[in-house]
A and B are shown apart, each in its own frame.
Chain A
């Protein structure tokens, strides 16, 4: 029987949650790297025992960890993220120009077919890649040095490249998203980039439909249909049917279209999940109710999923990298909260149960479906 391994990054360490295919009884491993912020950890699709973790601290900086045995043991690998060439400046919160400064790795996206290749999205926004299992990292400077770079401005969490989506049908195509610059696409394996934000509208910037400046929170793709992208923007849930060339809003009947996380069902490309959050000032779920919303129509029409989730006095947030799906039949859906709960649904969202309730605040959730 297949097993499932959930990789959880938190404010104070990493945890592994494992279960058999029934997904009823869970074994909790960790904390790994106790006391450190683990923004993200993820396994290689090509070798599920190869894991990478971003370990960081405001005191002690960035460390990259790698495991070759599914998370039982870890080895610190390369942590030098040097911007390539002239560093340049971007817009600061007060509107002045500010030098690009490396702060941390937000997201690690292992290659689909080579366990030694990993893409890293960092703050201040840039993309790096390793081809030697994490020992050395080199920037794809064509993104940071895009003509619009000096106009990129940090969101509340910093100027971060937080989403990397690899096109399984086209190894040359990579999507990235930056808060608060927008979505970008490379069609030459990361060397050059262009913004793909047509159709986005953001009231918080001087020109609401500008080429860049949008606070895109997350992109999601179903691997069988790589030209269709879903986006949770600061406000608005969006969809593109042409690989980002144009976007349309699909917020529909959501109670609020602010949020961070968005993901797609493993077997139904038009089944999409979001967790609406009250607003950019509140950063907790509306009405004290933790509700995942599911659309089976690729957007516009959404149903609340509440069975097993707290429906009173709940004021947690779900961050952008904190939702994932497994590939079992039926599809499992997982998310973690700022309150330290990790919830799992083994029936595509119809019902939920907490795997753990009292972890540190959850930053990221990834799932591995193991044979």
Chain B
């Protein structure tokens, strides 16, 4: 079970609270977590990653365990603490403007 923290605008869009939990099969990676998140909450499709390219939207950032994973390979394993559900995977709207 992976814990995912969403930014406010995506919480209201998905109709959820601050944190959701998703199940992934096999090794937890950013791609597998985001795939599971979009499968569980279809309104989020296209809001985090471009639908066609699957690239992270420019003003979205991914943090975990006090590290910025935004530019890491989407297929790299997530930190053990995230995979174990001890730490959340944070999806952040980048600070840009007020």
Chain A residues with CB under 8 Å of chain B are 33-36, 57-63, 76, 79-80, 82
Contacts and interface: CB of A to CB of B under 8 A. Distances in A.
B43 A63 contact: yes
Nearest to A36: B9
Given A59-B57, A59-B59, A82-B52, A35 B12 contact: yes
Contacts of A33: 12-13
19 contacts: A33-B13, A35-B8, A35-B9, A36-B9, A57-B47, A58-B59, A59-B7, A59-B60, A60-B9, A60-B57, A60-B93, A61-B50, A62-B46, A63-B47, A76-B42, A79-B51, A80-B46, A80-B51, A80-B52
B98 to A, nearest CB: 12
Contacts of A82: 51-52
Interface of B: 7-10, 12-13, 42-43, 45-48, 50-52, 57, 59-60, 93-94, 96
A58 B57 CA distance: 9
B57 A61 contact: yes
Nearest to B51: A80
A122 to B, nearest CB: 14
A33 B94 CA distance: 19
Contacts of B43: 63, 76
Contacts of A58: 59, 96
Contacts of B51: 79-80, 82
Given A34-B12, A59-B60, A61-B46, 18 more contacts: A33-B13, A36-B9, A58-B59, A59-B9, A59-B57, A59-B59, A59-B93, A59-B96, A60-B7, A60-B10, A60-B57, A60-B60, A61-B50, A63-B43, A63-B46, A76-B13, A76-B43, A80-B46
A248 B51 CA distance: 44
Nearest to B60: A59
B90 to A, nearest CB: 14
Nearest to B43: A76
Nearest to B42: A76
Nearest to B93: A59
Nearest to A62: B46
Nearest to B10: A60
B96 to A, nearest CB: 8
B52 A61 contact: no
A60 B92 CA distance: 10
B27 to A, nearest CB: 27
B13 A63 contact: yes
Contacts of A34: 12
A128 to B, nearest CB: 14
A62 B12 CA distance: 15
Contact of A59 (B12, B45, B50, B94): B94
B46 A79 contact: yes
A131 B30 CA distance: 35
Nearest to A35: B9
B6 to A, nearest CB: 10
Contacts of B57: 59-61
A82 B42 CA distance: 18
A57 B46 contact: no
Nearest to A75: B43
Contacts of A61: 46-47, 50, 57
B95 to A, nearest CB: 10
Nearest to B97: A58
Q: Which 10 A-B pairs have the closest CB atoms?
A: A76-B43, A60-B47, A59-B59, A59-B93, A79-B46, A35-B9, A80-B51, A61-B47, A61-B46, A60-B9
Contacts of A80: 46, 51-52
A188 to B, nearest CB: 29
Contacts of A63: 13, 43, 46-47
Contacts of B10: 60
A76 B15 CA distance: 11
B9 A57 contact: yes
Contacts of B59: 58-59
